[in-house]
Amino acid sequence: MNVQHIAAFSDGTRGGNPAGVVIGEHLPPDARMQQLATELGYSESVFAAPQPGGGWRVRYFSPAAEVPFCGHATIALGAALAQAQGDGVFELAIKHARITVEGRREGALVNAALQSPPTRSEPLAPALRAEALALFGLAEDELDPRLPPALAHGGADHIVLALRTRAALAAMRYDFEAGRALMQRLGLATVALVHAESPQRFHARNPFAGGGVYEDPATGAAAAALGGYVRDLGWPHGGGIDIVQGEDMGTVCRLHVDIPPAPGSSVRVGGTARMIGV
């Protein structure tokens, strides 16, 4: 089985979140996909096979379990398809939706962008708000009141906690087993802790204990959910936001989200991808 190693949402030729990419005539058995994702140890790996009539059937696996949607692995897949088939837009059938990913080669890098599934968000229920704050040892006055805690969806569910200061984001800590229990019980992909440096520039950290990973360096699905959430709030995003992630892990990742005005519509999440010489 040929595995490509591609870092998505890179900072040029550095950084990015690695994903394993497997493209074949048929999807491997579930147990084999899970085994390989566990062995690779990346936050997610993606598996793709051509569908009759066109497009690609796609599935995503973390080291611990299958996930419904993964943005950075989709960007990595777009880069792999562009390298193999030439620049273009590729139709993908994921677990609960149909989406697209675009790949355009530019020297050693590939510029890639996905169109997310539809987005939605809602205020976080008071009991869950208290539970999430307790997990991270946060007090109410550490939250940014302009961006109240929410449950946001952009292909997968994420709790969004916006912090007043960049220092509070840098200090993020949590108990892994408690985080895993919470995320698995609620069916969360991640908890997205964010700080708004400006209306169009965010810093983010994404614990991913439910998938067996303490923290994800770049999270395209959470970026899509955040884009939908700020649109729902009427936040002055000006049509798009930039997200810097992975800084506190020493792996800088850069994501851009284009946010059209229609409530609930797909958003576009893009960045660069680089091939890893493994």
My answer on whether 125 and 112 are in the same domain is: no
My answer on whether 138 and 103 are in the same domain is: no
Residue 251, domain member (yes or no): yes
- pLDDT given for residue 1 in this prediction: 79
Is residue 136 helix, strand or coil? coil
Residue 278, domain member (yes or no): no
Nearest to 154 by CA among 87, 76, 96: 96
Residue 189 has pLDDT above 60, yes or no: yes
My answer on whether 18 and 110 are in the same domain is: yes
Helix, strand, coil in percent for the chain, rounding step 5:
25, 40, 35
My answer on whether 67 and 181 are in the same domain is: no
Mean pLDDT of 127-155: 98
CA distance readout (Å), 194 to 162, 186, 213, 244:
5, 20, 18, 10
Residue 270, domain member (yes or no): no
Mean pLDDT of 22-51: 97
Residue spans of alpha helices (H) in the chain: 30-40, 71-85, 126-135, 166-170, 176-186, 220-233
Residue 275, domain member (yes or no): no
Among 82, 116, 150, the domain-final residue is 116
Among 51, 82, 116, the domain-final residue is 116
What is d(CA 2, CA 22) in angstroms, rounded to the nearest whole number? 6
Angle among Cα 254, 255, 259 to the nearest 5 degrees reads 155
Residue 278 has pLDDT above 70, yes or no: no
Average pLDDT score over the chain: 97
My answer on whether 246 and 212 are in the same domain is: yes
- pLDDT given for residue 72 in this prediction: 97
- pLDDT given for residue 110 in this prediction: 97
Please classify residue 64 by burial: count the beta carbons closer than 10 Å to its beta carbon, then call 0-12 exposed, 13-18 middle and 19+ buried: middle
My answer on whether 100 and 151 are in the same domain is: no
Nearest to 206 by CA among 144, 152, 274: 152
DSSP state of 25: S
My answer on whether 21 and 81 are in the same domain is: yes
Mean pLDDT of 254-265: 98
- pLDDT given for residue 5 in this prediction: 98
My answer on whether 17 and 74 are in the same domain is: yes
Please classify residue 185 by burial: count the beta carbons closer than 10 Å to its beta carbon, then call 0-12 exposed, 13-18 middle and 19+ buried: exposed
Among 99, 116, 133, the domain-final residue is 116
Q: What are phi and psi of 22, to 5 degrees?
A: -125, 120
My answer on whether 227 and 101 are in the same domain is: no
Q: What are phi and psi of 216, to 5 degrees?
A: -95, 125
Mean pLDDT of 248-268: 97
My answer on whether 138 and 54 are in the same domain is: no
My answer on whether 76 and 171 are in the same domain is: no
Mean pLDDT of 143-152: 98
pTM for the predicted model, two decimal places: 0.96
Residue 6 has pLDDT above 80, yes or no: yes
Residue 192, domain member (yes or no): yes
Mean pLDDT of 172-187: 97
Number of structural domains found in the chain:
2
Residue 277 has pLDDT above 80, yes or no: no
| Each residue's pLDDT tens digit, 18-28 | 999 999 999 99
CATH code of residue 192: 3.10.310.10
Mean pLDDT of 33-51: 97
Mean pLDDT of 107-114: 96
Structural domain of 99:
4-116
What is d(CA 150, CA 192) in angstroms, rounded to the nearest whole number? 10
My answer on whether 210 and 146 are in the same domain is: yes
| Each residue's pLDDT tens digit, 75-94 | 999 999 999 999 999 999 99
What is d(CA 264, CA 232) in angstroms, rounded to the nearest whole number? 8
- pLDDT given for residue 70 in this prediction: 96
Mean pLDDT of 115-133: 98
